A and B are shown apart, each in its own frame.
Chain A
Amino acid sequence: MQNSRSSGPSISPAAVVVAAVFLLVSVIGINWFLSFVPVVLPEQASAESKSVDELFYILMIIGGVVFFLIQGMLLISVIAFRAPPGDTGDGPTYHGNPLLEIVWTIIPALVIVFLAVVSYNIWTQNSAPKASVNMVDGASIKINVTGARYAWTHTYATERFDPDGAQIIINSGADLHTYIGQNVDLTLQTQDVIHSYWVPAMRVKQDLLPGDPAQGGRPTQLRFTPVRVDGKTYPAEYPIVCAELCGDGHGRMRGTVIVYEDESRFLDQFYEPAIHAILNPPADPILRGEVEIQNYICNSCHILDSLGWTATTGPSLNGIAERAGERVPGQSAEEYIAISIWNSGAFRVPGYDQQMAAFGPDVMETANIMSPEQLYSIVAYLCTQGEHSDCDMENASTSIPAAIQTVFGYEVDITFGLDGDAGAETPDAEAESGDGSA
């Protein structure tokens, strides 16, 4: 190296050999890197995932070249240019090479331009609104996702109506049901803080932003199209994860995307049975209540052993019927539970400072709409939670509707399911009652 003191490092045959070896190692190394791609990314379950992964391949190739170039130069330097023992002298006085500096400015700049163009194309293709979205049975329906601490709720605004003419809304809780080839277009809305809806297998993610409820919130959109994954048994399941810190239960705010093989299976296994269940609720209010309460986000905050709920943000619901009658003097257990649900700010259990979400017949959030009949059945179910219920369970079918009538002024139609035509699920079936929205 001493002879390069004045002229600086120049290209020698040895350098060419080193460069050739280095190039070979890089090519092998990058190929080795790429062999890990299927291991380090989830399955490609959407059309979008394929293009995103292509971009990842490109990034890995370019990143691999940079990685091997710099680590290689570094390795060569620490081996070749270590000061010999006892050598206390200086290296060559070499201040730079303008040509080299221009090269290593322009080449990265060109690479950046290339990456920007590729990314732009993939982004515009993936984020563009599609022509026919959420197609179910020939109609485009609206699918809403509600995020609330700490649960996802999916609702389908169907094109069907109950005998009273009300639109049927399917609530599938934490599960999103879809099928291969459906252009899914979700409308996302949060009830409290910012959440982020992430389906790793689909490579899509979108934040849910708090907006002014009086103006319909601040909905955001998320689009993807499920595709077939080889070797997967259907219906296939993929996790939904909350990716934006939302508080205590952020880590357990999860859900599942259930992908059916085709639309007819989607209709047979999910859509029609769900509508049927709404049109034909169990005649027993307690049984119906057990179903209804699981369609809401109650499990995101409360403990209830009978349903396996474990969240601790709100007070426990275990044995609620034993305590409800003693909370407020002069108020029956039925009234206390009903008020706690529909007028959630009315009472605050000591030690819990979080305001519960609002439920009722005319709340803004679709996922929280609750008819008087649903309230009746949920109160009836909660009245069974505890060994000695404070509720008048002998006369539940009159005491609970009376309580709802007293505190909210709503008349409850308790005849649902009782005299119904068991097979009725078409809008013209007249025997059904109850408003049917879930």
Chain B
Amino acid sequence: MATIAVPLGAQAEQQEAEAIRRPALSEYLRWSVDHKIIGVQYGVSSFLFFLIGGAMAMGIRLELWTPELDLMVSGAAYNSLFTIHGTIMIFLFIIPMWAAFGNFVVPLQLGAKDMAFPWLNAFAFWLIPPAAIVVLLGYFVSPAEAGWTSYPPLSTLFSGDGQTLWALGAHLLGISSIMGSINFIVTILNMRPPEMTIWRMPLLCWAVLATSIIAVMATPFLAGALTLLLLDRVAGTTFFDAAGGGDVLLWQNIFWFYSHPAVYIMVLPGMGVLSEVLSIHSRKPVFGYRMVGLSSMGIAFVGFTVWAHHMFTSLQPELRIPFMITTMIIAVPTGIKMFSWLGTIWGGKIRFTSAMLFALGFLSLFVIGGITGVMLAALPFDIHVHDTYFVVSHFHFVLFGGSVFAIYAALYHWFPKVTGRMMNERLGVIHFFFTYFGFLFTFFPMHIVGMLGMPRRVAVYAEGFQAWNQLISLSAFVLGFSTFIVVYNVIKSYYHGPIAGANPWRALTLEWQTTSPPPPTNFVDDPIPFEEPYGYGTEASAAYLDAVDEAFSRGAPNPASGH
């Protein structure tokens, strides 16, 4: 529907371009305490890291084209490649990318003028470039080779200085994440308009709140683990060295006590996006709003009790059963979300916008990641597939099929608000199909090679797996190609996209009740939220939206209003 643009002459186009007041590009390159600028800074920088990490994934798939070592000079070079791939994708892409959308959208959804602590917000962002430089320099000096999980003693007694730089960089990124999260918690709990009780808050805010609580509680454990690792590496301590009375499982416990909740740090905001997009683009309230919000909190809470399932093959056998049970329990709140989303679109009037396609793609792929999650929780089966390509497949279904699809949905959904222009919907649909099928044929076969006996993190493998790996690599190249479509779309739409108007999707949440892009103070007057964030289908909501259209119609014709 968003493509219904009014034909315009060149003159009219110029007038419209003047109607959207965007910050100069140079403002994005310097220190700013405006949450909208910081949001874009987060978004563009983490997308660049996505491209770098993706290029590395292409290198990984090229190496795995044959069972022998051919592209890389050594197994160690391959190890450092997937180490930096994982590190970039987790710490420099997904986590900061959610800070991007959180920053831009959350204060707007709350009707606030900025985040609670604007300076802290900027500081948290500006920790990322130095951290990224440290991590990437480490890759070029003497790369970390122990995987993003960095298990000692491989990462202590058997690795070079790049590992130290890796740990320092991850430390900085952790600090950035903690500061960003404190800001979100304070903002969401204190800066809502008086009419907006916590039960009338948009679900993205619920998800960001839950995510931030996890990040504040879990990230200090990453900091602790990294501190011990650094001390072992540079100060001669023996926290992880058995010969000096240390214990290698100490690292695994602390690391996963952070890193399993970190999975939810990476997925929960995506679930918030999904609730927004599915409801708005099928014109129907979110089904079971309270349970969707509460299940975020449930996942956050239970997520803290499952970490040792990553250690099923190293943990004492007696301790494995309790962690199997807690891990399986996660399926219940996750199931509530899945069913509630289906209930949301069921009976609605679905618009197949690019944002909606990616949200539906999330639903369809994440369910596979959820099913394999329960399979991996089932201890006897996990023992067989632990540390194999089955696991690689599972977490890519969760973090790519889940998080990245949600990031794309969020991009297509909020790009008009950020830039004032719509993205090209036709290119968006093409992008979706390349990404969906490229993804499916890359990662689904990995389940099978894993079950058949291919471990993860290997540059050489048994010859029998070559056909599977070539299918996977070919599909991965298609998936890699699909990224160029969205990059082109973003750049083209930024300059030439149809003018969006204030509320192209006719959404009820507050970020749409101001101009696109919003003025520096976000709202001219204090905005009045509609009585419920997803109350579509009522006459009152239609009247509210019409009034908003009326108020902002002076800027440009609204292509989505349909009136």
Contacts and interface: CB of A to CB of B under 8 A. Distances in A.
B392 interface: no
B414 interface: no
Interface string A205-220: 1110111111000100
Interface residues of A, number: 87
A82 B79 contact: no
A90 B349 contact: yes
Interface in A365-399: none
Interface string B46-59: 00000000000000
Nearest to A353: B160
A8 to B, nearest CB: 7
A101 B346 contact: no
Contacts of A40: 447-448, 451-452
B147 interface: yes
Given A55-B378, A209-B249, A70 B75 contact: no
Interface in B523-563: 535-538, 541-542, 562
A248 B336 contact: no
Interface in B282-296: 282-285, 287-289, 291
Contact of A247 (B154, B289, B383): B154
B345 A115 contact: no
Interface in A51-81: 51-52, 55-56, 59, 62-63, 66-67, 70-71, 73-74, 77-78, 81
Interface string A89-123: 11111111100110011001100100110011011
Contact of B74 (A212, A244, A248): A248
Given A4-B347, A78-B350, A95 B287 contact: yes
A252 B460 contact: yes
A90 B535 CA distance: 10
Given A116-B324, A192-B158, A200 B452 contact: yes
B379 interface: yes
A405 interface: no
A430 B53 CA distance: 67
A235 interface: no
A213 B462 CA distance: 34
B141 to A, nearest CB: 15
Nearest to A127: B317
A1 B346 CA distance: 10
Given A40-B452, A41-B452, A81-B349, A70 B284 contact: no
A266 interface: no
B453 interface: yes
Contact of A67 (B249, B314, B324, B368): B368
B364 A71 contact: yes
Given A5-B537, A243-B455, A81 B348 contact: yes
A191 to B, nearest CB: 11
Nearest to A355: B157
A361 interface: no
Given A42-B452, A193-B154, A248-B79, A88 B374 contact: no
Contact of A59 (B242, B249, B378): B378
Q: Which bracket fits the contact residues of B?
A: 35 or more
A112 to B, nearest CB: 5
Contacts of A239: 453, 462
B541 to A, nearest CB: 7
B117 interface: no
A210 B285 contact: no
Contacts of B542: 90
A52 B375 CA distance: 11
A409 interface: no
B328 A241 contact: no
Nearest to A84: B349
Given A9-B347, A91-B536, A210 B371 contact: no
A273 interface: no
Contacts of A246: 154
B109 interface: no
B351 A119 contact: no
A294 B287 CA distance: 67
Interface in B51-86: 69, 74-76, 79
B22 interface: no
Contacts of A242: 455
Interface of A: 1, 4-5, 8-9, 40-42, 51-52, 55-56, 59, 62-63, 66-67, 70-71, 73-74, 77-78, 81-84, 87-97, 100-101, 104-105, 108-109, 112, 115-116, 119-120, 122-123, 126-127, 192-194, 196, 198, 200-201, 203-207, 209-214, 218, 239, 241-252, 312, 354
The 4 closest A-B pairs by CB, nearest first: A251-B458, A200-B453, A88-B562, A91-B348
27 contacts: A5-B537, A41-B451, A63-B371, A63-B375, A70-B364, A81-B346, A82-B352, A84-B349, A89-B349, A90-B542, A91-B536, A91-B537, A96-B288, A101-B291, A112-B332, A119-B379, A119-B380, A123-B380, A192-B153, A193-B154, A194-B154, A196-B387, A198-B453, A209-B248, A210-B248, A239-B462, A245-B457
